[in-house]
Structure 1
């Protein structure tokens, strides 16, 4: 680890907070921080899930890991959480990661799903940022906001997610500009597909089995997706190094470049891709991945099994094995 990737020395270790830290990418980022000597607090909505995650982190790193049940949609709850972490451990680094994933054609979702995505991802990041910034100014600390390549361009069948992540990206860039004078750095992180086991916790609508099939296949296919633990290491490095922006995976970088150079063409190509995705055969209720079902076509089953194999192997290590309240992406 380079000197640029080191946090300030503290007698008892720097204090770090990760929202949405009970599973997936959030859990892997918490592990990276724990391995670097931080006292880490992971926050999410599910107490049982948090305890499993904390046990896994403590056994794997020997670090001090604390848990906090917190709904980031509730600003008062976030205020209490941030104040407690600051008073107990100090606050040197915060990563706002809490999120939800809804995979469905727009006909199968309504305003409520868009609202849920915005409340959890955008307002969750906003609440965390506004409450943490006064304390981070005292320590000249670091703030990381987890966006997505889905926030850099509108992704078909992921529109609530894309809208919320686009807002997170704008927030991160604006805060980076405004907080720089006070010594606080804000890093906008835009990962592409990662093998986090998130297909087990994502929600699917329309033809749920078909939606689950394409999403889990893409999220686990080599070259399209990235190992989540390697992604977590690069994200934590970027936040510690006070980088303004990080885009992960080659496909995500290519998509960002294409959209920047030729946004109209990129949007038309997205329209072509959308025609290849499942239709909204059943608007119905969104279902979590474990309940969505497998593709009915035998060839589609084989493709999903091949593409998703690596992602399936990440499920237990990422603490995604049991469906529960949606807390992290």
Structure 2
């Protein structure tokens, strides 16, 4: 623990924290002496997460809930108050859902689910914590967006659409809430080695979509170590930064898109042509674990995703059946 951390003694709520990046952020906050409430839908995964974070300077608790339920934010705020005897003064909106595949294989419900979980649920949570933050004249809100919220990556359109909206919401909140002493940090990560490819959903030719996405999310030069990303996010919270873009590729992409959007658009079109088509009988909603099981243990995809699978085991992700 850093004894001089500005976060010591603060009460944090981290959504999507039973696994992956959320779990790592929760651990980094607990290392700095925060009291942290974990949140996720899977009670067993939350129990494992609490055990993994045991023994850190900050207290850890967990509440299972579905953030897409309208009353979930109020229940979470109440759970934090009952467990820690304090209101939330650090909210990290991290929960997400990744759906991979061509737009022709996606359904309207895919976009609605992504929007509800990654735009509307964060908004409702912000509305739930704002009254107490404004009364105190202090607080921190962190929106875990994506570089996909600035650059429309192909074959990720439900995710991209929701993250674009979340980025706009976060930047607007930063402008409006600053006069009340409330800091809002927008985090735009590129690909990270969290093992999240096994928790993603795939459409179209699911096995081929899994192959490119899992590989990209596992290679060192393309993706970032998730523990390092979590530490950088927590340092950005400590410093009260408005924006943090993670990974060199993401930074280069954001810069290029801002300076030469037409050129970036042409490169994205070329990328889309290289990705698998939907196929004659497009699949839908194939879990990452099922898609992974279709690849041979000695095959190229299995070899290229070694680091991603290792990260998945370390970060409480589902495994292939």
TM (norm. structure 2) is: 0.93
Residue in 1 aligned with 2:150? 152
Q: Indicate if the aligned counterparts of 1:14 and 1:90 stay in contact, CA closer than 8 A.
A: no
Residue in 1 aligned with 2:75? 80
How far apart are the structure 2 equivalents of 1:145 and 1:293?
30
Q: Indicate if the aligned counterparts of 1:259 and 1:266 stay in contact, CA closer than 8 A.
A: yes
Higher RCO (C-alpha 8 Å, min separation 6): 1
Residue in 1 aligned with 2:12? 16
1:31 to 27, 41, 44: 27
Residue in 1 aligned with 2:100? 103
Residue in 2 aligned with 1:50? 46
How far apart are the structure 2 equivalents of 1:273 and 1:298?
28
How far apart are the structure 2 equivalents of 1:193 and 1:146?
13
How far the C-alpha of 1:77 sits from its partner, in A, is 1.6
1:116 to 108, 113, 116: 113
When the two structures are aligned, how many residues end up with a matched partner?
317
Cα distance 1:57–1:283, how it changes in 2: closer, same or farther (>3 A)?
A: same
Q: Indicate if the aligned counterparts of 2:289 and 2:318 stay in contact, CA closer than 8 A.
A: no
TM (norm. structure 1) is: 0.91
How far apart are the structure 1 equivalents of 2:307 and 2:45?
22
How far the C-alpha of 1:295 sits from its partner, in A, is 6.8
Residue in 1 aligned with 2:302? 305
How far the C-alpha of 1:273 sits from its partner, in A, is 0.6
Q: Indicate if the aligned counterparts of 1:57 and 1:63 stay in contact, CA closer than 8 A.
A: no
Residue in 2 aligned with 1:125? 122
Q: Indicate if the aligned counterparts of 2:236 and 2:244 stay in contact, CA closer than 8 A.
A: yes
How far apart are the structure 1 equivalents of 2:173 and 2:289?
37
How far apart are the structure 2 equivalents of 1:191 and 1:136?
27
1:263 to 244, 261, 264: 261
Name the SS for the 1:285 alignment partner.
strand
Name the SS for the 1:286 alignment partner.
strand
How far the C-alpha of 1:318 sits from its partner, in A, is 0.6
1:205 to 190, 196, 203: 203
How far the C-alpha of 1:297 sits from its partner, in A, is 9.6
Higher mean alpha-carbon deviation, 264-273 vs 282-291, is at 282-291
How far apart are the structure 1 equivalents of 2:70 and 2:285?
27
How far apart are the structure 2 equivalents of 1:315 and 1:48?
16
How far apart are the structure 1 equivalents of 2:5 and 2:107?
43
Residue in 2 aligned with 1:327? none
Runs of 4 or more off by more than 3 Å in structure 1? 1-5, 293-299, 321-324
Cα distance 1:323–1:141, how it changes in 2: closer, same or farther (>3 A)?
A: farther
Q: Where in structure 2 are there 5+ consecutive unaligned residues?
A: none
Higher mean alpha-carbon deviation, 134-143 vs 229-238, is at 134-143
How far apart are the structure 2 equivalents of 1:298 and 1:70?
35
Residue in 2 aligned with 1:135? 132
1:60-118 deviations in Å (ceiling 9; x for gaps): x2642111112212231211211331452332211000110000110110110011100
1:199-233 deviations in Å (ceiling 9; x for gaps): 11000111111110000100011111000010001
The CA RMSD measured in Å over matched residues stands at 2.2
How far apart are the structure 2 equivalents of 1:75 and 1:139?
27
Q: Does 1:6 align with 2:6?
A: yes
